[in-house]
Amino acid sequence: MDMPGYYEFCCPVKIISGHDALEKIPGTLAQLNAGRPMIVTDKGVVGAGLIDIVVNAISNGVKIGAIADTVPPDSDLRIVNGLARLYREKGCDSLIAIGGGSVMDTAKGINIIVSENADDLMRFSGANALKQALRPLITIPTTAGTGSEVTPVAVIKDHEKHLKMAFVSNFLLPDASIVDSRMTLTLPPAITAATGMDALSHAVEAYTCLAKNPLSDSHALAAIRLISDNLLKVTVNPGDRKGRLGMASAAILAGIAFGNSMVGMVHTLGHSVGSVCGVPHGACMAILLPYGLEYNMHKNGHLTAELLLPMAGTEVYAATPKEGRVQNVIALIRRMNQELYEATGGRHARFFKEVLDKDGKEMVPKEKLPDIAETALRDGSIFYNPEDLDYNDFLMVLEAAWEGNPLDTCLIRKG
């Protein structure tokens, strides 16, 4: 563990985890001087019956000001503005976000508007534009993956102006995040698999990319261990409560790790596939993760090799010669994808050509790959990747990940 020349680390989010952690919400809100929360969520969460569980758990202690379930799969400025109005009309004093990444982003956006009394969210976009604490925000993740329940980031899209606004500030960090096994028990296997691999990619890139530090490392290692122990189990057996809790903790640990260390090319390419083809983020991460590790191997193979311990345990680690460990880690991640593919009846895609939409149509046509590579060139997340990539490098990686071939190491430009 090397000490970086300079680093910062911070996660002031209170974590409450358990099989009945929701019941702690009234006390937590009271400590924050709040008692009339607005619940922000989406139709899927409501449909799965999760809101009822939360309402039952908290209604003894708090008066719910409003329940808004109109958050779309992709955050949207108009919805943020509308819900901020609702918050004010109903006299709410705090927010509870229940859902995945888009719900968290939306709640953070609402919180900026209602706390700053703003009508133009744009004014607060970018890094560190917020100057004071916002209203109390509690997050309840219903997927175990994005980590946005513990990150200082929100992404809100203005679909009318075709703009994507990013907000980065420690004031966006929630006051508390509640991890309750009841919230992820009904997550379908394919989403469980994709979001779990999303968390794995956060942790692995946090550990192997350039902005790592001792605390992001220790959070990442713990996340990787929990994911290796639990992801396949809960995909095969969704009702495994202990496994669900393990995955939820892993998602938080991975979120804290990458929130404090940044990520690399797996995310760069993943963002781009998502934005050009609309593929869910977790699915992109699962496919790209082994390729990122292969591409960077000549720079950070010694770090990737260490991950064999949390991934495979002491016996495999000790029995594998040092120089074989890195290949073993990459092979293990491919095997995880294969096992998740089998456990989900083929719904968990191993390669981009296997990613299908609801109607069974290919979501990433091969001819889109140049567009994706072009988009990746404009993504800032590449800054902390160990090795540089230009357009041709991105395209080479995408083509391999589309077809499902390992990278040809001769084609990697070693700078």
Partner 1 sequence: MHLPEHYEFFCPVKINSGNRALEQIPFELDALNARKPLVIARKDDSERGLVDVIVDAFKDSGIAVGIFDGVPVAPDLKLIRELFNIYRDRGYDAVIAVGGGSVADTAKVLNIAVSGKPENIEGYAGENMIKRTLKPLIIVPTLTGTGYEISRHAFFNGKDYTSHFLMPHLAVIDPRMTIPEDSVTTAATALAALAHAVEAYAGSGKNPLVDAYAYAAIQLIMKNLVNVIRDQRDRNGRLSLANAHAMAGCAFSNVAPGVAHKLGKVMGDVCHLPPGLCMGMLLPYVLEKQVSEGGYHISDLLLPLAGFDAYARMAENLRARRALEILHDLLKDLSKASGGAISRIWKDAQVSEDALQKIAQKAVSVGASFDINGCVKILREAREER
Residue ranges binding partner 1 (CB under 8 A): 1, 3-12, 14-21, 24, 31, 33, 128, 131-132, 170, 213-215, 217-219, 221-222, 225-226, 229, 242, 245-246, 249, 252-253, 256, 306, 309, 314-315, 317-318
Q: Residue 321, SS3?
A: coil
Our CB check for partner 1 shows the closer of 318 and 410 to be 318
Q: Which amino acid is at 160?
A: E
Q: Please, what is the minimum distance in Å from the beta carbon of residue 370 to partner 1?
A: 41
Q: Please, what is the minimum distance in Å from the beta carbon of residue 274 to partner 1?
A: 29
Our CB check for partner 1 shows the closer of 281 and 325 to be 325
Q: Please, what is the minimum distance in Å from the beta carbon of residue 328 to partner 1?
A: 13
Longest dimension (CA), the chain: 64
Q: Are strands 176-180 and 137-141 parallel, antiparallel or unpaired?
A: parallel
Q: How far apart are CA 267 and CA 213, in angstroms?
A: 19
Our CB check for partner 1 shows the closer of 201 and 320 to be 320
Q: How far apart are CA 170 and CA 152, in angstroms?
A: 5
Q: Please, what is the minimum distance in Å from the beta carbon of residue 9 to partner 1?
A: 5
Q: Where are the alpha helices (DSSP H) in 148-213?
A: 189-208
Our CB check for partner 1 shows the closer of 321 and 415 to be 321
Phi, psi of 219 (to 5 degrees): -65, -40
Q: Please, what is the minimum distance in Å from the beta carbon of residue 14 to partner 1?
A: 4
Q: Which two tokens stand for residue 182?
A: 């009841």
Q: Please, what is the minimum distance in Å from the beta carbon of residue 196 to partner 1?
A: 15
Our CB check for partner 1 shows the closer of 271 and 325 to be 325
Phi, psi of 71 (to 5 degrees): -70, 125
Our CB check for partner 1 shows the closer of 332 and 395 to be 332
Burial call 61-70: b when 16+ CB within 10 Å, e when fewer: ebebbbbbbe
Q: Please, what is the minimum distance in Å from the beta carbon of residue 164 to partner 1?
A: 25
Q: Please, what is the minimum distance in Å from the beta carbon of residue 231 to partner 1?
A: 13
Our CB check for partner 1 shows the closer of 6 and 60 to be 6
Closest CA to 248 of 207, 311, 192: 192
Q: Sheet harboring 153-158: ordered strands across?
A: 126-127, 163-168, 153-158
Q: How far apart are CA 74 and CA 403, in angstroms?
A: 28
Cβ-based neighbours of 120, under 8 Å, separated by 6 or more: none
Our CB check for partner 1 shows the closer of 117 and 314 to be 314
Q: How far apart are CA 79 and CA 268, in angstroms?
A: 27
